[in-house]
């Protein structure tokens, strides 16, 4: 058996692809890495919200899944659109890394809560909105590009710090640059943060599909991601929507229970709608849908409408 692994070409994307490849190789499966450039990699002079959130980092990989040029595509789960085409599916989720956002800087003394005004670079509408809400004294600049490109811009002085996901910083070995780990009570992560997802065409052979699920998939993470993605799907959210959703699994009386916090924040940071709910793991998707309904009915629909009108 040989499995062709499609991936974007950034160092972080390749780390994810090699991580998956190593697990397959360790079990005797032959592999090949296929590097594919996406629209999100090519267009770096505009914010993600301005180039359309649907499939910015996935469309080209999905085309090659359909053609059979690759067997699987490896993605950061947070980059995936909320709804996949009917002929595609997610077949595995890796065990989750720590999900926090972190402030990265050459100046380890920087802290968002210090009251000091400095410039933070980020391309995330969620992080921008949360900075505006919790730390309005902070100046924000749009910062696109892969992690190494952003760090180069930081070194050039285009900003004083970057706001990034811990997972990417950790995987690339930049721990020493973390000035502050942000509390998830404020900076609740986006759906899928910290997890690597494996996408395939539904036409993939059952033999390959079973092998990949058996060697890659983490059952608990999969249940949490199903809840989170159901929330995003019901919300009709994407990369340009400042929504958040984080599900945690807990063992209670011998049964797995999912506890999820999710919500949405207005672009100017003035309005946050946040809800929390729990359900048995068997009802993962219902959990996400119920939370989306709660968020929408408690002001989230108006926030979404304002975002669409602004765009």
What is the gyration radius of the CA atoms in the chain, in angstroms? 19
CA distances from 68 to 38, 39, 203 (A): 17, 20, 9
C-alpha 209/C-alpha 201 separation (Å) is: 10
Contact 4, 70 (CB under 8 A): yes
Contact 259, 230 (CB under 8 A): no
Contact 186, 134 (CB under 8 A): yes
| Consecutive H or E run containing 25 | helix 11-25
Contact 32, 4 (CB under 8 A): yes
CA distances from 271 to 20, 130, 143, 237 (A): 40, 10, 24, 17
Regarding beta strands 2-7 and 72-76, do their DSSP bridges make them parallel or antiparallel, or are they unpaired?
parallel
Contact 241, 78 (CB under 8 A): no
Residues whose CB falls within 8 Å of the CB of residue 297, separated by 6 or more in sequence, listed in order:
none
C-alpha 228/C-alpha 292 separation (Å) is: 10
Tokens representing 11 are: 């160092």
Contact 16, 22 (CB under 8 A): no
Tokens representing 85 are: 């085409």
The catalytic site residues sit at: 79
């Amino acid at each position: 058996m040989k499995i062709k692994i499609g991936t974007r070409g950034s160092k972080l994307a390749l780390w994810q692809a090699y991580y998956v490849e190593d697990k397959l190789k360790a079990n005797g499966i032959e592999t090949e890495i296929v590097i594919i450039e996406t629209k999100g990699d090519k267009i770096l002079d505009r914010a993600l919200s301005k180039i359309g959130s649907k499939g910015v980092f996935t469309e080209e990989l999905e085309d090659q899944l359909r053609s059979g040029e690759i067997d699987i595509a490896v993605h950061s789960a947070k980059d995936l659109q909320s709804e996949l085409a009917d002929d595609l599916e997610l077949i595995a989720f890796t065990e989750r890394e720590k999900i926090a956002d972190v402030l990265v800087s050459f100046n380890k003394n920087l802290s968002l809560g210090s009251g000091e005004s400095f410039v933070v670079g980020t391309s995330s509408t969620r992080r921008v909105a949360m900075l505006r809400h919790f730390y309005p004294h902070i100046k924000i600049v749009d910062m696109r590009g892969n992690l190494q490109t952003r760090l180069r811009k930081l070194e050039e002085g285009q900003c004083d710090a970057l706001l990034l996901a811990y997972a990417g910083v950790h995987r690339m070995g930049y721990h020493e640059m973390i000035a502050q780990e942000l509390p998830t009570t404020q900076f609740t992560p986006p759906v899928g943060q910290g997890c690597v997802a494996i996408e395939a065409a539904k036409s993939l052979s059952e033999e390959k599909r079973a092998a990949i699920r058996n060697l890659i998939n983490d059952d608990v993470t999969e249940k949490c991601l199903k809840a989170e993605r159901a929330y995003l799907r019901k919300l009709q959210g994407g990369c340009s929507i400042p929504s958040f959703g984080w599900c945690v699994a807990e063992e209670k009386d011998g049964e797995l229970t999912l506890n999820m916090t999710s919500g949405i924040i207005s672009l100017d940071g003035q309005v946050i709608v946040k809800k929390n709910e729990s359900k048995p793991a068997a009802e993962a998707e219902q959990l996400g849908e119920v939370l989306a309904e709660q968020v929408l009915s408690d002001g989230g629909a108006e926030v979404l409408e304002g975002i669409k009108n602004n765009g």
